[in-house]
Chains A and B, each alone.
Chain A
Amino acid sequence: MTPILTARGLTVQYPGSATPALDAVDIDVLPGESVAIMGASGSGKTTLLHTLAGILRPTAGTVTLAAASGPVAVHALDDAGRARLRREELGFVFQQGLLLDELTALENVAVARMLAGVPRHQAEGEAAQWLAHLGLQGMEHRRLGQLSGGQAQRVAIARAQVTGARLIFADEPTGALDSTTGAEVLDLLLAAVAQGRTLVVVTHDPGVAARADRVVTLRDGRVVADERRAARAGGSGGGEAVHRVATVRGGQVEHTTVAAPYDEARR
């Protein structure tokens, strides 16, 4: 299978520090897999994620993304080019949320589509579908600041998918959540993978790593282990339109089968 993301000799040297934060890292991410990046604090996980996602420019090395339109040399793009790539091709779910407190849940998601030129009412329609899909019906018009941490992460997951991004980057998406809420958020992220998206997730949580297809371990900016879980190796590479999603109502977890609004044909 052709990798969706290829990195070679990835090195990041922060100004003023003696040792590189990333030291010649090679990594291939296959489409439809979930990759957990683990390692001690300061081992370079966030730096790797940011470099792969075109947030940070590597000091040396290459990052190639197999975009819908063909391969893109991410490391060679200028600021505007990388911003465009992040906006159009990638989705993000970070611990800090990356969402705007003063916008409603609906607006936070709709903005991603509006930036692609979709008219506001249509963008809000799509956003509402995704929010409902992720169990946030009735909360569309709450400002983000009025949502719980778990609900806010659901909004982030909706935003990451509404553009049709095939590759989602998550940095400690469950880091600020209690274990039950964290597990629910992880369910939603893995549901996106089951639907054909690719997930790269930085985590300290062994529970998250245990459910990923593959675990990459970093130490001092180098990859020291890269293990694929045989049980999941086949993956679910297809683009199923229907999948299972866990939602919570009244403290009770219920599993519902829903149609995904994401439509391959739209791209």
Chain B
Amino acid sequence: MNQRNFLFAVLLLATYVLVPAVFGDNNYVMGLIISALIVAGIAIAWALLGNLGGMVSFGHAAFFGVGSYASALLTMKLGWPVLLAMPMAGLIAVLFSAAMLPALRLSGPYFALAILAYAQIFRILATEMDWLTQGAKGLSRIPTLPVLFGIDLGSRSGSYLVIVTLLAAFIACYAWVRRSHYGTALRAMHDSEQATRVVGVNSVMLKAWMLFLSAFMTGVIGAFNAHTINFLEPDYAFGGGWSVLPIVAAIFGGYRTLSGPVIGALCIYLIDQLLFKSLLPTGHQIMLGVLLAAMILFAPDGLLPLFRRRHA
């Protein structure tokens, strides 16, 4: 085990034990942290697609929403156990992301627009297909996470353990891909796709895998969210916030790093909820937009990396 992995393990253990030990009794704080980590999960998936796949997505709400609805429906209509429905929801999000494959041939801005439109289509579908989704009325009483090995995963502390585990798995997976030969080839593709193809790299396929991986992660996070809040409606599940917040978070924390999206999500979500929301109760998302625009202009690599460099 090298130093980095060791540090990661220690940090993970502390995260598992310390946070519930300190805040476990405070439902409000635990709720805030869990919500921030949900954003962190999408932010990791978004950063993976952007960093490794070279694609900027404004449509992760689509995968999030599909995952939420898939898991809710599997458990409610087919009686699937929640812990089985969640990974399945991830796979269903992958299936739906396959509809994006033709867009992979589009270059940057066109891909971004295509995926934006794609997310809107799903919101409309979820509203219109009311025989399945109960339309705008929404789904309520979605089953909660079960009790496992004597731990009630449906409780705040239990849910916290689940989301931290998911994030750790995502980060490990992201790190593995990035370090592998696939990661090297993906890095090469960004600026020299043709040069990479003529040495045998199937660049479209590799990008597709990154899209699938990202959609899977986002779908699972959506499913987790559905089972923790137990209620869904199309405008919520496919809401633009699920696309925008993770982007702001990832860019804020540094989307090129593994930890950036997580740290960014914690900062941004808490700033949004505790500061912006109290300043501007309605439309506080506007502040996020302003923050994002400012960061893209002044610190495109993120604020935290900037900070780190200054103090290095």
A and B found bound together: no
State the A residues within 8 Å of B (CB). Answer: none
State the B residues within 8 Å of A (CB). Answer: none
